[in-house]
Amino acid sequence: MTGRGSIALLLIAAAILLRPWDRDPIRRLLPHGEQASAVGASERLRGRVERAVDGDTLEVALARGGTETVRVIGVDTPETVKPDTPVQCFGPRASAFEHRTVEGRRVRLLTGVEPRDFYGRLLAYVWVEGRPRERFLEDELLRRGLARTLTFHPNDRFAARFETLEQKAATAGKGLWNAC
C-alpha cells in the first residue's frame, strides 16, 4: 500500500474509533447496544461545580436551577473532612486534585438508578467538560491512584471498568497504592 493510502486508512480508522461527531460522553461509555433512554431511573443533568467538598463529593449548581451536593458514584477517596475521622493517607492529594480539576467547571451528571444516598446527596457519575475532551472524573481518580472503587448495587453500571482501572493503578504503584 502506498504512503498516502496508509495515511488515509489510519485517518479513517481514527475517525471511526474517536467519533468526533459524537459529543455525548455518556452514550460512548454505555455498554454496547444500551440506549441513553434505557438508563433506568437515571437522569442526565448539567451544572457547574461550585466547590469540591473533598475527593468524592461536590457542590454543583444545576443548570435547571438549585444546588445539589453530589456524591460521585463508584469511587471512594481517602477522608479529609468527615467529622470525627482523622485525615487519611493521600486524602489531601485526592482533595487537591478534585479542587484543581472540577471547581468552576461545567459538568455533566448521570444520576444513579438509586439517585440518593442515606444523607440525601445526589448520586451521580461525573463528566468534566473541557477541551480538548471531556473527562470521566471517576476514571481520572482511579487511573491516578487517588481513589479506590466503591460499588453499591444498583449503581454499578461502570463497576467492571472501575475495577480494571484500580487494578492497573495498584499494579503500577500509583498514588495511594504506593504511599499508603
Tens of pLDDT, residues 154-179 = 999 999 999 999 999 999 999 889 98
What is the reported pTM?
0.77
Annotated catalytic residue 34:
no
- Please state the rounded mean pLDDT for residues 87-99: 84
Does the structure show a pLDDT above 60 at 27?
no
For position 28, what pLDDT does the model report? 55
Cα separation, 157 vs 151, in Å, equals 9
Annotated catalytic residue 4:
no
DSSP secondary structure string, 61-113? EETTSSEEEEEETEEEPPPSS-TT-PPPTTHHHHHHHHHHHHTT-EEEEEEEE
The rounded radius of gyration (Å) of the Cα atoms in the chain is 18
Annotated catalytic residue 71:
yes
Does the structure show a pLDDT above 80 at 31?
no
CATH of domain 33-179: 2.40.50.90
Q: Which of 1-15, 27-41, 64-78 has the lowest mean pLDDT?
A: 27-41
Cell 467529622 -> residue: 83
Quote the mean pLDDT of the chain. 84
For position 82, what pLDDT does the model report? 81
Cα separation, 124 vs 72, in Å, equals 5
Which residues, in sequence order, are CB contacts of 48 under 8 Å at separation 6+? 60, 61, 63, 104, 105, 106, 107
The active-site residue out of 27, 106, 121, 148 is 121
